[in-house]
Amino acid sequence: MPIDTLKSKRRLVEEYGLDDRQAEGIVELIAQSEERGATASDVEAAKREILMQLESQISATRSDLEAQIGSVKGDLEAQIGSVKGDLEAQVGSVKGDLEAQVGSVKSDLEAQIRSVNSDLGTQITSTEERLRLEIEKMRRQMLQWMLGIAAFITVLLTLFEYVL
């Protein structure tokens, strides 16, 4: 729909404060661009062209992203495998170290237990021997006391018989 150039010029001068020359230049430019305006079929063809270009770019971008994702996935899987292998090796090493330490501690404890058993055996044997000697000494003392008491009783009985 063509524009009313005189009315548009007047409006630019009165409402926007442009001078006649500026307003006339603007109105002429608008009129010329309107004459060169695109038809509906031109717009539809341009729209189809733009859509085809966008679809092509989307497809290319999708392919690039899928390739990059595949590459990153492969890299990550390789890194995960490498880290897993490293960790398994470290776990094996730590396990071996711990087993060696446990074996060493076990050997030390067994040696200490044998030493304590030997010391206890020696102390028990020594204590048994002392107790045997003490018991023997007490038995002799008791026999001496018993003999002394028997002799005393015999002497008393003899005195009693003599006195009576």
The tokens for 22 are 């500026």
pLDDT, tens digit, 9 for 90 and up, residues 92-149: 999 999 999 999 999 999 999 999 999 999 999 999 999 999 999 999 999 999 999 9
DSSP per position, 43-78: HHHHHHHHHHHHHHHHHHHHHHHHHHHHHHHHHHHH
For 42, counting Cβ atoms within 10 Å of its Cβ (0-12 exposed, 13-18 middle, 19+ buried), the class is exposed
Smallest CA-to-CA distance from 9 within 1, 17, 20 is with 20
Residues 29 and 43 in one domain: no
Residues 16 and 84 in one domain: no
- For the chain, the domain total comes to 2
| Residue with more model confidence, 41 or 108 | 108
CA distance 25 to 5: 11
Band of the pLDDT at 48, cuts 50, 70, 90? confident
Regarding pTM above 0.75, the answer is no
Most confident of 27-41, 51-65, 114-128: 114-128
Range of the domain at 91: 38-163
Residues 73 and 148 in one domain: yes
Residues 47 and 59 in one domain: yes
For the chain, give the mean pLDDT: 89
CA distance 48 to 60: 18
Consecutive H or E run containing 9: helix 5-16
Residues 155 and 145 in one domain: yes
Band of the pLDDT at 38, cuts 50, 70, 90? low
Residues 48 and 24 in one domain: no
